[in-house]
């Protein structure tokens, strides 16, 4: 059980075994805790020693204790794959992949082999239980191996004998009781924990909405609540304070002393006290301005934010220091004017990226890129020779064009709302039956929408090929030719943010107006049709169908009917098989929606968030319970989707 502890104004996380709370005499029984009954026979046959050897092999590779030439990375012995979730058998020297079913094939062909370890996740799989299992003894072996290899790496990098050896610490029974008596254990099963309003500091609803989407982002929440952020700016801040105080002391001394130049005492002219104070203030302000960016850390601000939100307090929280840090990071947001939530989202992510160890390289492992980072593949095809060139572009959000409404209001800068309700009654209960049709899209008698005003239609337009205005140089033709460009998702992020471009600048008068078109968006969305892999498969299918049609024309007319029937049955079976084999790793689920209501100059931002499988509306300091029906009928501006199936590769 992971609990947040508060003692002597220190907030942190402590991992506590809940079994110890009952009786300290149960330690011997707890050492044998296991969720699998088949592992006992494995231990009796020397399985603990084999597991220890496998763990040393895994951590030696992951922590780069040895070079890959000396210790090769495991791969599937059946198909040679390195990526298909490699499992290492705990009974023999065998490794095979999960994705193609080769590890199950190994278990079926070898009687008595039923345990394997996932190389990436380091979890034990039991073939008899058909599930991943937990064993406390094996967990302790894993921790001891990791600790020993960590110490060995420290000895290699820093062989000094004066360095204190690292030792793991586990609370004893007395220490555990002391922690329990002096800590406030927060019950995270309480639905109120994690729900806390944010006070508006003056047109800061744009910031509050984005912060609420951060708070209820599972990856960001787990990262900062687990104390994963290690700030390196505190040392710079301490050094700055030390130098700043010394400079002030030196200024005070020099103001009342004589100058010494070339060994001659020169009497200093008296300076007016007001002029001296003004000069000191200017110097201090300049030094503060120059060191503001070195002092602030948006990663630490996120730490403070999550600590306050999950503290259990019910009163609204005032994120004044977060706003101040954003002002220092980006002067664009300085002031109390209404700002764009999407621009603040991008700016704050850049700040968190730079303050949490982010790099400018392609393989950045900061929390921002691990959460929102993806890759788009851009393919340019020559219309003359069909030669295709491709490039990959990284992204952290997707901006989608939306269709305009039929009528635009002249003068207020906003478009009329597209959906019209057929029933004048606004009661949610009367409309609940029209809520979902399988994919979470409102349908039935509740609302009528224009064709193409859906998120899926926007994605379809985003990934459709478009003809380039200017001719593109084709390397195959060695000249400029007419060409098309098509985008597809090469690498999908864990959390994908769809930005519906509701604010558009007019080309004639350069005024920005709002597109108030209603866009349907689903609860769950399958991104498979928009991926690069799916595009290639569809292209191969079309080529195969063309060849089959050519073969049909060569057959006799007597066999045409039979062939058509057989082909229809085979096509139907292939479609059913493709649906069954749909990659579940490309399915996303909605967890937050940021909305903008009103006009551009006098609008307001709110946010819908999903918390404990329930939906809530965050309106600055007010948080109220709502229904999924209200979420889906809102005119979303930023849509946040989370992968339903997560795979950890690092």
So which residues are the catalytic ones?
A: 205, 604
Taking alpha carbons only, the member of 412, 410, 2 closest to residue 187 is 2
CB 32 within 8 A of CB 46: no
**Secondary structure of residue 46 in the 3-state scheme:** coil
Would you say how long the chain is, in residues?
650
Checking DSSP bridges between strand 398-400 and strand 495-500, what pairing results, if any? parallel
Task: Select from 640, 639, 643, 642 the least CA-distant residue to 402.
Answer: 639
Q: Write out 3-40 in H/E/C secondary structure.
A: EEEEECCEEEEEECCHHHHCCHHHHHHHCCCECCCCHH
Cβ(68)–Cβ(90) under 8 Å? no
Angstrom distance (rounded) from CA 212 to CA 611: 11
What does the alpha-carbon distance between residue 35 and residue 115 come to, in Å, rounded to a whole number? 13
Contact (CB, 8 A) for 415 and 432: no
**Do residues 150 and 158 lie in contact, with contact meaning Cβ atoms separated by under 8 Å?**
no
Nearest CA to 521 among 459, 478, 581?
459
368 and 358 Cβ atoms separated by less than 8 Å: yes
How many helices (H) does the chain have, and how many strands (E)? 19, 27
Distance CA 554, CA 560 (A): 10
- In sequence order, the 6+-apart residues with CB closer than 8 A to the CB of 495 are 217, 219, 371, 372, 640, 641, 642, 643
Distance between CA atoms of residues 452 and 468, nearest Å: 23
Considering Cα of 338, then 502, then 197, then 216, what sign does the dihedral take?
negative
Alpha-helical segments (H) within 523-559: 532-554
Helix (H, G, I), strand (E, B) or coil at 458: helix
Q: Within 10 Å of residue 438's Cβ, how many Cβ atoms? A: 9
d(CA 518, CA 419): 6
């Amino acid at each position: 059980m992971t609990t947040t502890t508060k003692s002597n104004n220190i907030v942190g996380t402590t991992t506590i075994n809940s079994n110890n709370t009952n009786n300290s005499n149960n330690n011997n029984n707890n050492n044998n805790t296991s969720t699998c009954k088949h592992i006992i026979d494995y231990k009796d046959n020397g399985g603990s020693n084999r597991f220890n050897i496998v763990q040393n092999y895994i951590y030696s590779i992951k922590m780069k204790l040895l070079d890959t030439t000396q210790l090769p990375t495991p791969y599937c012995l059946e198909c040679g794959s390195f990526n298909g979730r490699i499992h290492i058998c705990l009974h023999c020297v065998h490794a095979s992949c999960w994705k193609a079913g080769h590890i199950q094939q190994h278990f079926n062909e070898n009687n008595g082999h039923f345990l394997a370890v996932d190389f990436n996740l380091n979890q034990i799989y039991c073939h008899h239980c058909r599930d991943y299992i937990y064993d406390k003894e094996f967990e302790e072996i894993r921790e001891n191996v990791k600790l020993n290899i960590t110490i060995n790496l420290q000895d290699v990098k820093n062989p000094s004998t004066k360095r204190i050896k690292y030792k793991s610490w586990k609370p004893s029974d007395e220490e555990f009781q002391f922690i329990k008596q002096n800590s406030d254990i927060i019950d995270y099963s309480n639905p109120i924990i994690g729900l806390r309003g944010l006070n508006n500091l003056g047109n800061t609803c744009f910031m509050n909405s984005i912060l609420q989407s951060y708070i209820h982002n599972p990856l960001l929440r787990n990262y900062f609540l687990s104390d994963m952020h290690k700030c390196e700016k505190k040392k710079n801040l301490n050094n700055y304070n030390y130098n700043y105080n010394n400079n002030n002391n030196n200024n005070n001394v020099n103001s009342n002393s004589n100058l010494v130049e070339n060994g001659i005492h020169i009497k200093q002219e008296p300076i007016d006290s007001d002029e001296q104070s003004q000069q000191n203030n200017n110097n201090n302000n300049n030094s503060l301005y120059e060191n503001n960016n070195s002092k602030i850390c948006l990663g630490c601000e996120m730490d403070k934010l999550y600590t306050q939100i999950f503290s259990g307090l019910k009163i609204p929280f005032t994120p004044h220091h977060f706003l101040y840090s954003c002002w220092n990071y980006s002067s664009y947001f300085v002031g109390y004017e209404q700002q764009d939530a999407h621009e603040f989202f991008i700016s704050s992510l850049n700040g968190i990226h730079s303050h949490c160890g982010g790099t400018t390289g392609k393989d950045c492992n900061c929390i921002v890129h691990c959460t929102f980072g993806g890759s788009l593949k851009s393919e340019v095809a020559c219309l003359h020779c069909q030669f295709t060139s491709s490039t990959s572009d990284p992204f952290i959000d997707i901006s989608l064009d939306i269709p305009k409404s039929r009528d635009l209001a002249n003068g207020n800068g906003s478009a009329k709302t597209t959906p019209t309700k057929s029933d004048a009654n606004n009661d949610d209960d009367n409309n609940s039956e029209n809520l979902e049709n399988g994919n979470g899209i409102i349908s039935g008698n509740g609302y009528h929408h224009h064709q193409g005003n859906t998120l899926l239609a926007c994605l379809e337009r985003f990934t459709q090929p478009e003809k380039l205005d200017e001719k593109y140089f084709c390397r195959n033709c060695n000249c400029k030719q007419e060409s098309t460009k098509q985008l597809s998702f090469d690498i999908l992020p864990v959390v994908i943010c769809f930005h519906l471009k509701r604010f558009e600048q007019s080309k004639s008068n350069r005024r920005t107006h709002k597109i108030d078109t209603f866009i349907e968006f689903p609860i769950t969305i399958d991104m498979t049709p928009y991926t690069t892999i799916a595009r290639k498969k569809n292209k191969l299918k079309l080529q195969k169908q063309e060849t089959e049609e050519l073969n049909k024309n060569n057959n006799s007319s007597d066999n045409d009917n039979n062939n058509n029937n057989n082909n229809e049955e085979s096509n139907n079976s292939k479609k059913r098989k493709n649906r069954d084999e749909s990659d579940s790793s490309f399915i996303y689920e909605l967890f937050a929606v940021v909305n903008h209501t009103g006009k551009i100059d006098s609008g307001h931002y709110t946010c819908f968030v999903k918390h404990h499988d329930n939906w809530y509306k965050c309106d600055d300091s007010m948080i109220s319970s709502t229904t999924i029906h209200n979420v889906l009928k809102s005119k979303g501006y930023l849509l946040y989707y989370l992968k339903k199936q997560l795979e950890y590769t690092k």
